[in-house]
Structure 1
Amino acid sequence: MAGRLDGEHVLVTGGSRGIGAAIVEKALTEGARVSIVDIEEQAGKAFAASLGADDQVYFGRGDIRMADEIKAFHTAAVARLGPVTGLVNNAGRNSNADPVTMTEAQWDDVFSVDLKSAWLCAREVLPAMLAVQRGSIVNIASVHADHTFRGYFPYAAAKSGLVGLTRSLALEVGPQQIRVNALSPGWTETRLVAEYFATQPAAMRQQVLDVHPMGRIATPMEIANCAVFLLSDEASFVTGANWRVDGGMGARFAG
């Protein structure tokens, strides 16, 4: 069903690798123009160049924790590709911290990337969306927003906050026909996950697979497929929702 994003300009944060890169690739196949902002300049430039579509792709380095850098990137992206009609707040960082020994600076760093940046980016693109009364925002949360486990403090708190932000923002801009949804992936075969498994006992991967009813974990493109659907007009009556994309893992532990 190619062409679901024809004429759209989708901005993807943290789009140079992993789930973000898969979303970029999927959006392009659906006809979108895509701008990518990432703090990793070398990786971002290389990825954008590999896509081979200068008139469809724009990469710019930017720290999404900083409002002025978001504004500068957005201004350049719009000049190149036109007004942003879709935003994917994908950039995030994990956290393994102790609630007693964690410092305020460490806490603020997690929340500035995983939660505050989503608001800053939405604040930047919303005026143009409001002016034409159309647009879609997808916030990449996590199954940790609902189900977490020891050692992920305060990642779960930040992702729960992102789902709450999604609901609140959906209510604010719904009357102008702008949709805001969250997408909560579970275990996904990204480079970071591969590196994690490489540091663990060999049995760890099987333990992870065993808690998935489907017996496997997701590919980045499986997450991207859902993100692009939520961006598209096929999801025209979906807003304020949190789509869990976890192969049934959350259903197993629901309670």
Structure 2
Amino acid sequence: MTHSSRLLGKVALVTGIGSGIGRCCALMFARQGARVLGCDLDAVAAQHTVAQALTEGLCIDSLHPCDLTDPHEAQRLVRWAADLHQGFDILINAAAFGAFAWIEDMDYHHHWRKTLAGELDLVFLLCQAAWPVLKARGGGSIINFASANAWMSLKGSPALAHCAGKGGVLAMTRQLAMEGGPHGIRANSISPGLIETAATRDYLAADPNFRPAALDHQLLPQRIGQSEDIGWAAIYLASDESSWVTATDLRVDAGATAC
């Protein structure tokens, strides 16, 4: 484990800490000296992350379960975080849910609406709830997660709703950067390529052709991405090292969107 002090003295609110990129960011931020506040809809998974932090001598506070597609829950999370530490400097919108189906098979409510709520609405709701806290703090860093799918389509991937949701995150983040600039609020996004997580592992296993097709679309074809690849990018955007960086999308995708 790499422990350092790049985020020492900062308070980070990280969503989706129970699994995948959110879990990785929560642990990596704590290892870099940040005071981490987290949440997840899955209370058991969130508690596992809290327990993992304790085994490393770290502390992550978590509010769970927490459904960020509910505006009242987003407000509750922000109030809880503000009560604990009088605010926060970093907001990591890692929580997401996406349903995948081809357009002819897509159900409007189960696939389309659920994905837009789980990938776009919850980012908006938490940014809106957190905005007054960040303004009162004198600024801060918002990090949203778009996707390589916001820039390209991947043959064999039934990702229509996901592409729409993450494309919305990409555009929304630019607007947040414009509105936040006068208040010292930076807003950036990260567009991951294919990352191996619990959410993608089953799909990779179910379709033996998908992994080689994805690797073939990368300029670095040796491996699929890992959550840590994204975590290091998030640490940079959260740190003072990126104090002159806003409205930027950082593509961490092994060059997939360059092809």
TM-score when scaled to structure 2? 0.91
Sequence identity, in percent? 31
| Contact kept? 2:186, 2:247, Cα under 8 Å | yes
8 A Cα contact 1:9 1:82, kept in partner? no
Instruction: Report the equivalent of 1:146.
Output: 151
Structure 1 residues 211 and 231: alpha-carbon distance in aligned structure 2, compared to 1, 3 A threshold:
same
Amino acid in structure 1 at the alignment position of 2:27:
E
Residue aligning to 1:167: 174
Report the equivalent of 2:59: 56
Distance across 1 between alignment mates of 2:191 and 2:239 = 18
After superposition, the CA RMSD in angstroms is: 1.9
Q: Measure the CA separation in 2 of the matches of 1:148 and 1:82.
A: 42
Letter in 1 for 2:63: G
1:207 aligned partner, one-letter code: A
User: Does the 8 Å contact 1:13/1:37 carry over to 2?
Assistant: yes
Aligned-residue offset at 1:181: 0.4
Match of residue 206 from structure 1? 212
Greater mean alpha carbon deviation, residues 48-57 or residues 113-122: 48-57
The separation in 1 between residues aligned to 2:57 and 2:81, in whole angstroms, is: 12
> Which residue of 41, 48, 54 corresponds with 1:46?
48
Distance 1:99 1:133 in 2: 45
C-alpha distance in structure 1 between counterparts of 2:201 and 2:58, whole Å: 33
When the two structures are superposed, what TM-score results if normalisation uses the length of structure 1?
Answer: 0.92
C-alpha distance in 1 between matches for 2:251 and 2:174: 15
Amino acid at match of 1:123: Q
Contact 2:53 2:59 in 1 (8 A): no
Give 1:76 shift: 2.1
Any idea what SS the aligned residue of 2:117 has? Answer: helix
Instruction: Give the letter aligned to residue 36 of structure 2.
Output: V
Aligned residue for 1:154, secondary structure, equals helix
Q: For 1:171-186, what aligned pairs fall within 5 Å after superposition? A: 171-186=178-193
Supply the distance in 2 between the matched residues of 1:70 and 1:154 (Cα, whole angstroms): 23
Shift of 1:77: 2.6
Counterpart of 1:189, as a letter, is E
Which SS does the other structure have where 2:96 is aligned?
coil
Distance 1:221 1:35, change over 3 A: same
Q: CA deviation at 1:75?
A: 1.9
Q: Which runs of 5 or more residues in structure 2 are unaligned?
A: none
Q: Tell me, which stretches of 5 or more residues in structure 1 are unaligned?
A: none
Take 2:152 and 2:140, find their aligned partners in 1: how far apart are those partners? 30
User: Aligned-pair distance for 1:151?
Assistant: 1.7
- Find the residue that maps to 1:156 and give its secondary structure: helix
Structure 1 residues 200, 100: CA separation in 2 closer, same or farther (over 3 Å shift)?
closer
Aligned residue type for 1:4: R
Seen in structure 2, the aligned counterparts of structure 1 residues 142 and 231 have a Cα distance that, compared at 3 Å, is same
Is 1:15 the counterpart of 2:20? The answer is no
